[in-house]
Amino acid sequence: MGDIKIIECPRDAMQGLDHFISTSKKVDYINSLLKCGFDVLDMGSFVSPKAIPQMRDTEEVLSKITRGNSLTELLTIIANKRGAEDAVCFDQIAYLGFPFSISETFQQRNTNKSIEDSFHLLEDIYSIASLNKKKVVLYLSMGFGNPYGDKWSDEIVYNWTKRLNATFGTSIIALSDTIGCANSDVLPGLYQSLIDAFPSIEFGAHLHVKRTDAQQLISAAYTGGCRRFDVAMKGFGGCPMAKDELTGNLPTEELIHWMEKNKVKNNLNTEAVSKSMNSVDTVFEFQN
């Protein structure tokens, strides 16, 4: 078992692109990622196709991918009760990811609901997940700061974590830096305080970064006790509901370099990772 849990996020990498990636390309790419040894693949979403048109074929992709003997588990994002009901119909899916923002502005922008409305919606989502033997991954958006003028502090993060855990028994929370404002001076203390206060919760890091800051931010989160990292190959992606200029996802290769440098164990198949990495530009139709 690796010392770090790695969540590869092709869904987050693809969802903001203007052009539609064909279903067959998505299937081939996800099949290649399933051979890499990632712990989890965030591979699609059950949300309105009007909101995220790129993910409108998630059901078809799920029906066509080949798990084989891969131990990688699958996660899909949901934003409402209907999405949860659709997602749990698929045996392949282990996790339902729900974006819960501690910024009122961003929660409205991202899900068209207030924070309190989203909190009450979670009662249905946790119930649906439990009945169908799925786990909920709560993405605590604006977990490291807020560009919208809403209040943010470590205490606000702590209080929401406490409320979510007390009400729903929340077991996985990924602090999410939707707009790239995570500070390496803040991360160690923030993670350490949360992990000490809530030992039953697995805390993760979903960072949107400038590549030049990646290594420093990984080190900061790891120092604080974080052992779960969301990544995307070549740093593709970012949240299409966020504010204007987007930083990219934490590049998979930056985490790999950091693990090699710091002798941190992982379960990755180097050859399979290289093969997937080499296909990224073709899959995403990226041209220099």
Residue with tokens 């974080």: 226
Q: How many CA atoms lie within 13 A of 243 on its CB side?
A: 15
Q: Do residues 283 and 18 make contact, with C-beta atoms less than 8 angstroms apart? A: no
Residues contacting 193, CB < 8 A, separation 6+: 154, 158
Q: Whole-model pTM?
A: 0.93
In eight-state DSSP terms, residue 49 is T
pLDDT of residue 240: 46
CA distance 152 to 20: 36
Residue-wise pLDDT for 256-287, tens only, equals: 999 999 999 999 999 999 999 999 989 988 75
The stretch 124-135 carries a mean pLDDT of: 98
The answer to whether residue 104 scores a pLDDT higher than 80 is no
Quickly count: other Cβ atoms within 10 Å of residue 81's Cβ. Answer: 14
pLDDT number for residue 244: 40
How many beta carbons lie within 10 A of that of residue 212, not counting itself? 8
Q: Which class for 97: exposed (0-12), middle (13-18), buried (19 or more C-beta within 10 A)?
A: buried
Domains and CATH numbers, the chain: 5-283 (3.20.20.70)
What are the strands, taking DSSP E only, across the chain? 5-8, 40-46, 73-78, 93-101, 135-141, 172-177, 202-209, 228-231, 248-249
**pLDDT tens, position by position, 31-54:** 999 999 999 999 999 999 998 999
